[in-house]
Amino acid sequence: MQKPFKDALQDSVLVFDGAMGTEIYRNHVFTNQCYDSLNLTQPKLIQRILTCYLEAGADILTTNTFGANRLNLGKYGLAEKLVDINREGAISARKVANQQTERDIYVAGSIGPYPVSVSDRFRDEKIIELIQEQIAALKDGGVDVIFFESQHSRRLVLLEAQAMAAFPEMPFIFSYALSGWKKTCSGETIHELFAPIPDTLPQPVAVGLNCGLGPDEILEPLEEALKLVDCPFIVEPNAGIPREFEGRQLYYCSPEYIATYAMRYIALGVAAVGGCCGTTPEHIAEIVKMVKPLAKGRREVPVFQYHETDAPEQEESPFAERSRLAWKLAHRKWVTTVEITPPRGYDLTEIITKSQKLARHGIDAINLPDGPRASSRISSLVVADRILHEAGIEPILHFCCRDRNLIGMQADLLACAARDIRNILFITGDPPKLGNYPNATGVFDTDSVGMCQIQRKLNHGVDLGGQSLSPATNAVFGVGLDPTAIDRKREIERFHRKIDAGAHFAITQPVFDSDCLLEFLDDIGNCPIPIIAGVWPLASLKNAIFMQNEVPGVVIPDTTMKRMEEAATESREKQLAVGIRIAREMIERIRSVVAGVQISAPFGRIDIVLDVLNLQ
Tell me, yes or no, whether 311 lies in a domain.
Answer: no
Indicate if 366 and 458 belong to the same structural domain. yes
pLDDT tops 80 at residue 577 = yes
* Interval 359-387: pLDDT, tens: 999 999 999 998 776 677 899 999 999 99
Q: How far is Cα 430 from Cα 509, in angstroms, rounded to an integer? A: 14
Indicate if 283 and 341 belong to the same structural domain. no
Tell me, yes or no, whether 304 lies in a domain.
Answer: no
pLDDT tops 70 at residue 297 = no
pLDDT at residue 298, rounded to an integer: 44
Indicate if 524 and 404 belong to the same structural domain. yes
Tell me, yes or no, whether 153 lies in a domain.
Answer: yes
Q: Which of 269, 298, 327 is the last residue of a domain?
A: 298
Tell me, yes or no, whether 303 lies in a domain.
Answer: no
Q: Which of 268, 298, 328 is the last residue of a domain?
A: 298
Tell me, yes or no, whether 162 lies in a domain.
Answer: yes
- The CATH number covering residue 288 comes to 3.20.20.330
Taking residues 595-604, report their average pLDDT: 93
pLDDT at residue 488, rounded to an integer: 81
15-19, 496-500, 512-516, 552-556: segment of lowest average pLDDT: 552-556
Tell me, yes or no, whether 308 lies in a domain.
Answer: no
Check if the beta carbon of residue 579 is closer than 8 Å to that of residue 540.
yes
Q: Residue 200 burial by CB count (10 A; 0-12/13-18/19+): exposed, middle or buried?
A: exposed
Indicate if 249 and 352 belong to the same structural domain. no
pLDDT at residue 296, rounded to an integer: 45
Residue 280's alpha-carbon distances to 36, 105, 238, 252, in angstroms, are 18, 18, 10, 12
Indicate if 358 and 401 belong to the same structural domain. yes
* DSSP state letter for 391: I
Indicate if 550 and 457 belong to the same structural domain. yes
pLDDT at residue 115, rounded to an integer: 72
15-24, 306-315, 415-424, 453-462: segment of lowest average pLDDT: 306-315
pLDDT at residue 201, rounded to an integer: 95
**311 versus 83: which is more confidently predicted?**
83
pLDDT tops 60 at residue 326 = yes
Q: How far is Cα 201 from Cα 20, in angstroms, rounded to an integer? A: 31
Domain span at residue 443?
319-612
List the end-to-end C-alpha distance of the chain, in Å, as a whole number.
Answer: 67
What pLDDT band is residue 545 in, cutting at 50, 70 and 90?
Answer: confident
**331 versus 556: which is more confidently predicted?**
331
Indicate if 362 and 498 belong to the same structural domain. yes
Cis peptide before 318 (omega within 30 of 0): no
* Mean pLDDT value across the chain: 87
129-163 in b/e form (b: 16+ CB < 10 A) is ebbbebbbbbbebbbbbbbbbbbbbbebbebbbbb
Indicate if 121 and 262 belong to the same structural domain. yes
pLDDT at residue 456, rounded to an integer: 94
pLDDT at residue 304, rounded to an integer: 52
pLDDT at residue 317, rounded to an integer: 93
Check if the beta carbon of residue 18 is closer than 8 Å to that of residue 280.
yes
According to DSSP, the β-strands at 243-245 and 248-250 are: antiparallel
| Strand ranges (E), 357-406 | 365-368, 394-400
pTM: predicted TM-score of the whole model, two decimal places: 0.61
What pLDDT band is residue 11 in, cutting at 50, 70 and 90?
Answer: confident
Check if the beta carbon of residue 239 is closer than 8 Å to that of residue 258.
yes
Tell me, yes or no, whether 555 lies in a domain.
Answer: yes
Check if the beta carbon of residue 430 is closer than 8 Å to that of residue 441.
no
What pLDDT band is residue 247 in, cutting at 50, 70 and 90?
Answer: very low
Indicate if 353 and 260 belong to the same structural domain. no
pLDDT at residue 299, rounded to an integer: 43
Q: Which long-range contacts (CB under 8 A, 24 or more apart) does 30-34 make?
A: 33/76, 34/67, 34/72, 34/73, 34/75, 34/76, 34/78
**247 versus 84: which is more confidently predicted?**
84
pLDDT tops 70 at residue 133 = yes
Cα angle value 564/213/519 (rounded, 5°): 55
Tell me, yes or no, whether 83 lies in a domain.
Answer: yes
Indicate if 481 and 525 belong to the same structural domain. yes
- The CATH number covering residue 361 comes to 3.20.20.220
Q: Which of 298, 327, 349 is the last residue of a domain?
A: 298
How many domains would you assign to the chain?
2
* Interval 415-440: pLDDT, tens: 999 999 999 999 887 665 555 555 56
291-300, 321-330, 382-391, 439-448: segment of lowest average pLDDT: 291-300
Indicate if 266 and 366 belong to the same structural domain. no
pLDDT at residue 248, rounded to an integer: 46
| Residue type (1 letter), 141 | G
- Which residues touch 150 (CB under 8 Å, ≥6 apart)? 66, 112, 113, 175, 176, 177, 210, 211, 212, 276
Indicate if 289 and 341 belong to the same structural domain. no
